[in-house]
Structure formats: C-alpha cells, structure tokens
Amino acid sequence: MSTITTSDGTQIYFNDWGTGQPVVFSHGWPLSADAFEDQMFFLASQGYRCIAHDRRGHGRSSQPWDGNDLDTYADDLAALVKALNLRNAVHVGHSTGGGEVARYIGRHGTERVAKAVLIGAIPPLMLKTEANPGGTPIEAFDQLRAAVLADRSQFWKELSLPFYGYNRLGAKISEGVRDSFWLQGMMAGLPASYFCIKAFSETDLTEDLGRFDVPTLILHGDDDQIVPIGASAMLSSKLIKGATLKVYKGAPHGMCTTLKDQVNAELLAFLK
C-alpha cells in the first residue's frame, strides 16, 4: 500500500495512477479515494498523473481520535503534496473535499497549485447563522450525528438515496453504486464519521476563498440535496476571483458518479 506518515503519526493512504501533470483529488464524507475512480481512470488514460488519498479516519488511512477538522485535513494534504513533490498540480475537491482544497489554499497558498475545481463543495459555510441565513440549521447536523451513533450502517444505506438523487421520481437506481457508498462509509472509522460532521458544517471558508489566485472551476447540481447550491456554489463563485460556475440542471450531490461522462469531459476541457 502507498502511504505517507504525517507529523502526528497518522498514516495516509493514497492512489497514484498515470504520469504527467498531477491532478489531486479530495473526496467527500464519508467516502474514500475510490469515490473518484471514474475521474482518475479517465484522466490517467488521457496523460495525467492522478492522485487521491483517503482522508484521515476514512478508507484505508489510520483512524486517529484527533485531527478530524479542516485545518488538519488541509495539512495532511499539504504533507502528501510535499512528500510526492507535486508542482503545477490541479486540485479537485468534492463536497467536504472542496472545503479541504479551500483550506489547503488558505493555509498553504498556491505555489504548487495550477488550478482548482470545486464539485458539489461545502464552501463558504454550510451552517445557518445570522450572517449566513441561507445555510442549513444546526438541527439538521445534529440529526446526522444522532443517526451515525444510532446505526451508521443503516444510515449509510439510507443516505445513498438522496446523495445520488435516487429518491427522485423516475431515477434509474444502481444498487451497485449504493453498495459502494455503503462499503466506503463503513471503512470510515466512527470518530471520523462523527467529528467530520462538525468540520464540514461549521467551518467558515470565506477567507480561504479570497486567497484563491488560480483559475477555478465550480460545478454543482441544482438538485443537490446534501449541499444545497444556494448557500454554496452560488456564493463561492462570487468570492473566488474569476471563478467559472457551471450549474448542472437536476444533478444530485453524487454527480461524479451519476454524470461521470459529463464531469470527465468538463474536467478534461478545464485541464487543457
């Protein structure tokens, strides 16, 4: 297995496919690097070096009690980039991974970054506050925490339906995709599954977005039931200088899987 060890002794697993300009993928909660396998296989076949890690506590990485927060996630990403000596890299983040990319740029700058892509991403802030009235109420995140503690195996099975838009009328459901979501979710440790909810819901990434100074593409489905577009992409696209926003009509949160051909083509065009 390919791993690096961070300064606090956490082992971070990563996939590293292909050669060429590096494209680094940061996955969402509660998944793993495998969530991006469609994009990685496609882009590696097109002459890019595709790298995706399992966030700490997720997938095949260590499951520490500490560090399940966006500062540490961003520092882990920086450690991976440094260990592999990646330069001129394109960073692609989905959901919580989009927050990881934003905080990585906010904390570590863009010296090694060529471009950024945020897909169904959490920035600038998911939580409803006085300053962010369009956000999601804290009660919704408390319900997520309760569900994770009560029976997280069953919860992952249920969450896969809105995640991929499979609860919509006429949706073509893949039980295989749902099984993959469940498997990836069960590979995440309970501490990460629980603590990451606070990380993705309560971290304000507004200032981080202001530090973006590379070409940035934002992709979001207007039927995203997990990260509603109004309080995320619509705001991020205004906060990131010169960002390009593309809204996918009717697309769900898990669009990298359900609309993989469109997303792959979009990424390739942006990389070129």
223-257: per-residue pLDDT in tens? 999 999 999 999 999 999 999 999 999 999 999 99
With beta carbons less than 8 A apart as the criterion, state whether 90 and 63 touch: no
Q: What is the pLDDT of residue 142?
A: 98
Write down the pLDDT at residue 236. 98
**pLDDT digit string (tens) for 27-52?**
999 999 999 999 999 999 999 999 99
Q: Which of 61, 95, 180, 193 is catalytic?
A: 95
Q: Exactly one of 53, 58, 220, 253 is catalytic; which is it?
A: 253
Q: Is 8 a catalytic residue?
A: no
How large a percentage of the chain has pLDDT more than 70?
100
Residue 223 is among the residues annotated as catalytic for this protein = no
What 3-state DSSP class applies to 250?
A: coil
Determine contact, residues 236/218, Cβ cutoff 8 Å: yes
Residue 1 has pLDDT above 80, yes or no: no
**pTM of structure:** 0.97
Note the pLDDT of residue 71: 98
β 11-17/3-5 pair status = antiparallel
Return the pLDDT at 123: 98
Q: Check residue 187 and give its pLDDT.
A: 98
Distance CA 219, CA 139 (A): 27
Q: How confident is the model at residue 65 (pLDDT cuts 50, 70, 90)?
A: very high
pLDDT score, position 152: 97
Say which of 91, 224, 232, 236 is annotated catalytic. Answer: 224
Six-digit token string for 79:
């450690």
Q: How far is CA 171 from CA 71, 149, 155, 167, 252, in A?
A: 37, 29, 20, 7, 11
Q: Which amino acid is at 202?
A: E
Q: pLDDT tens-digit profile of 128-149?
A: 999 999 999 999 999 999 999 9
68-82 pLDDT, tens digit each: 999 999 999 999 999
Burial of residue 220 (CB within 10 Å: 0-12, 13-18, 19+) is buried
pLDDT at site 89: 98
Beta carbons within 10 angstroms of residue 65's beta carbon: 10
Examine the residue annotation and report whether 32 is marked as an active-site residue of this protein.
no
